[in-house]
A and B are shown apart, each in its own frame.
Chain A
């Protein structure tokens, strides 16, 4: 029996639960886990005040219930698997190093901020600032993968330096703003001003997009790496059409207010067979 923490008392105000990572609970007994600290609003609380703890971790930890008000789940996690059966709150997987977080629901803003490694999968939608730098910081996600089957909000991949963000639906405004490197694949559409201030890296979309005038058209081509990425996403269960794998992409380079070494690739729908 794997370890399960079932929400039995819904938090009335946002709760900070940095203790709820695989690393912290993996080797603890039920009573020790129940005694771990939480911050409920501005009051100290314990895991046991809100969760019913049962079982023991065998490589996985399951959280059950609507945790949309619970922040910092899986923050700093370095190993193991955290499965959330319901919604997750803000700062999910903040500065995560390794392991996997699976959310069977929606996630709030700030999924995987300044993440270093590991994988986060959201079956629903995510909020703003996915894989971003914290406010004031210049470097966002440095490694790992964030896979969102639904839509994502604004400023996805703000300051991102490495890794992969894949969004099955639409990505909001300023996708890849100030991006240093890495890859953002928005299989749906891109919002306004995508790639603003990007230095390097790739932003890919299967839908037409209105780009900033500081991006310039280069060519139409079939990037080999993109096929590999799309096949990988299909393996992860995302709906990837064959035409995208075989299709041609229009390449735009930018942002010319920076180094002009980033790229936005838009599927050339006119040449779809």
Chain B
């Protein structure tokens, strides 16, 4: 593969630069996209094909302790789906939670070149970094879980605001994380302290920590803004999966005011009805709020029928799902900083709740007025595998196909939605390029990704155009990562190590004097051994702070 390449005759979909299907050249030099190349530079003729930036998955679960527990929990799933080696790639196992090698190659084979692991307790950061190092081709990073951190709760409770900011920054550095993740804020300690309990309102008191979830959420939004992190607070709201949780979701978004906030897997938080009873859809109401509040971004967390695995730091949610599935499961404590629940799960077309979840996801996509703020995800593997993305894209782009699929699912559920109320929208290829590439890159603050302008990373996917969009997006003909031809004519041509993306916000080192005794008293690990050493970083990039763009 030469260092330079001119890709000619393809139709370019680069929404970040306002290019929608124009035939134009894309030039690559030294791993970046450049404005031009000498005429005698090597050429790749992609006549009749679509050129898109490499896909960016803003929310998935692909590495670390919980992912590995899910792998170990399901050997029967792996044996059905071996991932053989090739002359240039390594072997692995597939299934709903693929091994590290298989994860990287399968993302690449879908045209994705960046993926973000969405929930990592700091104690598991080493494990995550080791696994991400073993996840080939793609660039990757992770979000660190801080909303159920006992020490941070203490600082908030005691009004030690400055120390709180420094401690948050210290923890991000200690873990080598990319962003701050909040999961069911305040609930894990309640779950650990009182049998089978959860938080049901973001203004709930008596949670045992003398803080309401709203106080926790607002504090983190402010601190992340002050630190200038490229990605805003990434929140998994309280009450996930419970009927009537849409009010909690709305209140969480209102808590942000005009500050940026990323709502994770919003589909799981858009349910009407009464707690304990069957949910109804509040997709239109949630979509309307998002449409009118430009500070909010979200990924959908679409449910796709078939096998899934719930894996979450939301320990009480894991317990709830276990009571539904009656399947094998894992529930774990992560010392002073998080919880964990893992439950193998299967979504079925004929089951009312599953069909409703599927339909609400589609409602959210189709009612969204700004594709730059609603992104494609299945919360892999919670709503389904990332390998279902092509099918989801076809559901969005092909109204007839969607209507055929709607006829196959539980009709009672569909009647609770607006899917059959003249919701005829079909996503264009340009809009798909936004929700799978440009928008997640922008929301993450990755200026060199999600577009094909000069200076961007040469992460490029080239698809053969096909009326069947599922088939089209299932197998790109070419995938270029950092300027290297990874896949050509549908075959892997070389292996590649992607970069770890992380941030390093500044903090006052005096906070370590406050942290040290807490670790001595409450942690199983010595304070000096807790922060992840730089030797775990390998090929990495520190993304600089930015001023939050509201």
Name A's B-contacting residues (CB within 8 A).
133-137
Contact = CB atoms under 8 A, between A and B. Distances in A.
B219 to A, nearest CB: 42
B74 interface: yes
A134 B75 CA distance: 8
Nearest to B79: A134
Contacts of B75: 134-136
Interface in B58-117: 73-77, 79
A134 B77 CA distance: 10
Nearest to B344: A136
A135 B75 CA distance: 7
Chain B: number of interface residues, binned into ranges:
under 10
Nearest to B72: A136
Nearest to A135: B75
Which residue among A133, A136, A137 has the maximum number of chain B CB atoms within 10 Å of its CB? Answer: A136
Interface in B31-82: 73-77, 79
Contacts of B76: 133-137
A134 B74 CA distance: 11
Contacts of B77: 136
Nearest to B77: A136
A136 B76 CA distance: 5
B195 to A, nearest CB: 21
B342 to A, nearest CB: 13
Contacts of B73: 136
A123 to B, nearest CB: 30
12 contacts: A133-B76, A134-B75, A134-B76, A134-B79, A135-B75, A135-B76, A136-B73, A136-B74, A136-B75, A136-B76, A136-B77, A137-B76
A136 B77 CA distance: 8
A77 to B, nearest CB: 19
Contacts of A135: 75-76
A120 B311 CA distance: 40
A137 B74 CA distance: 8
Contacts of A136: 73-77
A25 B97 CA distance: 36
A136 B97 CA distance: 14
The 8 closest A-B CB pairs, nearest first, are A136-B75, A136-B76, A137-B76, A135-B75, A134-B76, A136-B74, A134-B79, A135-B76
Contacts of A133: 76
A136 B74 CA distance: 6
A136 B73 CA distance: 7
B84 to A, nearest CB: 12
Given A134-B76, A136-B77, 10 more contacts: A133-B76, A134-B75, A134-B79, A135-B75, A135-B76, A136-B73, A136-B74, A136-B75, A136-B76, A137-B76
Contacts of B74: 136
A138 to B, nearest CB: 8
B64 to A, nearest CB: 20
A134 B76 CA distance: 7
A134 B73 CA distance: 13
A133 B76 CA distance: 9
A135 B74 CA distance: 9
B83 to A, nearest CB: 16
A230 to B, nearest CB: 35
B69 to A, nearest CB: 13
A135 B328 CA distance: 13
A216 B70 CA distance: 37
Nearest to A137: B76
A134 B79 CA distance: 9
Nearest to A134: B76
A174 to B, nearest CB: 18
B75 to A, nearest CB: 4
B329 to A, nearest CB: 13
A137 B77 CA distance: 8
A128 B61 CA distance: 37
A135 B79 CA distance: 10
Nearest to A139: B76
A142 to B, nearest CB: 14
Nearest to A133: B76
A134 to B, nearest CB: 5
Contacts of A137: 76
A133 B77 CA distance: 12
A198 B505 CA distance: 56
B99 to A, nearest CB: 15
Q: Which of B73, B76, B77 has the most CB of A within 10 A?
A: B76
